[in-house]
Structures are given as C-alpha cells and as structure tokens.
Amino acid sequence: MILHGENMVQSRNTLSSLIDQARSLNKVILRLDAKRLEPKALSEELGATSLFGESRFIIIEEIHSLPTSQRKTQLITLLGSISESTELLLWEKKQLTPTMLKQFPLAKSQEFKLTKYLFQWLDSVQSQSKLSRNRFMLAVEQDGEMMCFTMLIRQLRLLIQATENKTATLPPFMVAKLKKQADTFTLAKLLQLHSSLLRLDLSMKTSTGNLSLTQELELLLIEM
C-alpha cells in the first residue's frame, strides 16, 4: 500500500490506524529508515521471515524524497518487484506522480489531498467577512483542524518572507499574491501572530489549554 499526498495529518492518522490494526492481529511491525537503507539489506528484509512465524508488516517512509542516486533507483526497483504476499506500506509526504506509482504495479495507493477550501481560507485570513469564516469552517471540516493550524503557520511564515523580500525561491505568481496579502498587515503584526501560533502549539503539546484547537484558531482569526 502507498499513502501519499500533501494532507500529512490525514495520511499520518491513516498510517497510525493501519499500524494499530496490524498490532491487533499480532503482526510484527518493521519500520525501515529510507535514508540509511541499502539495497542488500532491503532485499534480505523482504525475504526474511519472523522467528515464530508471525506475519510481518513493513513500513518505509519518504523513499521518494531521497536524493537521485543509484541506491534510490535500486531500492525502488526492489520494492516494485515484491509479491502481493509481502505486507509493505510506503508513506510519502508529497503527492506521487502517475509515473512514480507505475513502479509499484501491485500496490494500492491512497492520495490525501488538500481541499480548495483550505487555500481559499488562507488567502482570506486577513478578512473578517462571513465568507472567510465559512471557508475556515469548511477547511476544518474537510482538511481537519490540525492541518488548518499547520498551514496557517506556513502561510504566516510566507507572508513574513514576502514582507522582507525573501521569496526568491518561490514562483512569481505566488510572490505577487503573497505580497498583496502581506500589504494588509504590518511586519510587527505578522510576527505577533506567528508568536501566538507558537504559544498555541506549546499549549497543545503540554495540554494546558481549555479550548479546542478550532476555538483557539477562531480567536486568533478575530485577532487578525
């Protein structure tokens, strides 16, 4: 199975669910580090059996994010040639192209996309309009509150970069859109909002907040 796409929150949740399911069936969970994995070691792992005859569930993350090399090509070739009886799951944080997916003819793939509502909301976060709030609620419903939180942090960082003219690596159309949106804020305000998000992140990790993440984001949007 291949899990891929930009909605990493949903794909991670699915990965965790599949791992829990495998554990409930007493399968041996084997997670291999793509960055350190060598073709010979992978070949041995794919052909190995567990000591007590249990089924094995092999997980490899971000193999397509490895730098282009002979090792990467060999690893993907090995993975693409395994039999259906081998339980293998590949997790990717990006969307794989049809050409990439064709290298795994026997694998089922599930893509986790970000919806248009998320991007429409991010483009309108400076607005207090009813339309912006509706887009936010739709984004939470379709993409999840955690993905909205993650992408809002990213959007604010991009707006700060646009304000400081540090967007050389971005495509021109995106730079123009970011600068237009950044003009509705001061740099001080953007930095303040970014700090608020970092404090919210810490609050969630330490379980010190009293509100849900969606409620916290709603308050932050009012502050904007």
What are 171-185's pLDDT values in tens digits? 899 999 999 999 989
pTM for this one? 0.79
Q: What is the CATH number of the domain that holds 174?
A: 1.20.272.10
Same domain, 76 and 131: no
58 pLDDT band, cuts 50/70/90, is very high
Q: What residues contact residue 4 under an 8 Å CB cut-off, 6+ apart?
A: 11, 90, 91, 92, 93, 94, 95, 96, 109, 110, 111, 112
Asked if residue 55 lies in contact with residue 80, where contact means CB atoms within 8 angstroms, the answer is: no
Mean pLDDT for the chain? 90
Instruction: Report how far apart, in Å, the C-alpha atoms of 200 and of each of 36, 149, 166, 219 are.
Output: 35, 10, 26, 11
* Residue range 125-139, pLDDT digits in tens: 887 778 888 999 999
Q: What 3-state class would DSSP assign to 95?
A: coil
pLDDT of residue 51: 59
Domain that holds residue 136: 116-223
Same domain, 30 and 56: yes
Tally of helices (H runs) and strands (E runs) in the chain: 10, 5
Taking the CA atoms of the chain, what radius of gyration do you get in angstroms? Answer: 21
pLDDT of residue 215: 92
Q: Is the pLDDT of residue 50 over 70?
A: no
